[in-house]
Amino acid sequence: MLKSMIMTTCRLSLVVAIVCGVIVSLPVDAQEDAKPAKKPAQGVAQPFNLPDSIKLTDEQTKKLEALKKEATPKLEAAVKKVDDVLTKDQKKTRKTASDTAKAAGKKGKELKEAVNEALKLSDEQKASLAKAEKELADLQKATREQVVAMLTDEQKANLPTPGKKKAKAK
C-alpha cells in the first residue's frame, strides 16, 4: 500500500512538472513569434514629424494617418533607391564615416561632404546617388507640404522655420 501511494505521488509530481514546463514555455514562444516594431528608414518618417507644441485634432490625426499610409511605401521605395546605389562595404563605410564626422561636430553639408569623401564613389555612383537623392528630397518636400496644408494657421505658426532652432519631433 505504501509503495502504491509513493508511485501515485511520483506520477502526480511528474505530471505537475510537465504541465508547469509547458505553461512556462508558452509565453516564451509567443515572444519569439512577435516581431519587434520595425523602425522606419531615415527619410521616411521625417516629413511627418511635428513639434510637440502642435496638437492635432482627431480629424487631422486621421488625415495624417491616411497620408502616412499612402506616402510611406513611396518614401520607402525612394530611400531604397538611394541605398541600392552603394555596395555593402560602402554602406558600412558610410555609417562609420557618419558617426566619426558627427563626433567631430560636423553637420549638414559639411557632414555629407565628409561621408561622400570617405565612400570613394565612382562617377556613375555619384550620378545615380544624386538622382536618387533628388527624387527622395522632392517626395519628402511634397509630402511635407501635404502635412503642413492640413494644419491651421495657428499650428503653422508653431512650425520651426529655417534658421530657427528645431523643436523636438514626436
Number of domains in the chain: 1
Task: State the pLDDT at residue 68.
Answer: 93
- Is residue 45 predicted with pLDDT exceeding 60? yes
Task: State the pLDDT at residue 2.
Answer: 65
Range(s) of the domain holding residue 142: 70-156
110 occurs within a structural domain: yes
Distance of alpha carbon 109 from alpha carbon 107, whole angstroms: 6
For residues 13-40, average pLDDT? 52
- Core vs surface per residue 42-75: b (16+ CB within 10 A) or e: ebbeebbebeeebebeeebeebbeebbeebbeeb
Give me the torsion for CA of 55, 56, 57, 58, rounded to 10°: -120
Cell of 65: 494617418
Angle at 75 between CA 69 and CA 76, to 5 degrees: 95
Beta strand spans in the chain (E): none
pTM of this prediction? 0.66
13 occurs within a structural domain: no
Binned at pLDDT 50, 70 and 90, residue 29 comes out as very low
Binned at pLDDT 50, 70 and 90, residue 73 comes out as very high
**Which residue has better confidence, 12 or 75?**
75
137 occurs within a structural domain: yes
35 by Cβ neighbours in 10 Å (0-12 / 13-18 / 19+) ranks as exposed
Percent pLDDT > 90 in the chain is 52
8 occurs within a structural domain: no
Task: State the pLDDT at residue 34.
Answer: 47
For residues 95-101, average pLDDT? 93
5 occurs within a structural domain: no
117 occurs within a structural domain: yes
Residues pairing with 51 in the sheet: 169
- Is residue 141 predicted with pLDDT exceeding 70? yes
Distance of alpha carbon 163 from alpha carbon 140, whole angstroms: 19
148 occurs within a structural domain: yes
Binned at pLDDT 50, 70 and 90, residue 116 comes out as confident
56 occurs within a structural domain: no
Q: What share of the chain is helix, strand, coil (3-state, %, to 5)?
A: 70, 0, 25
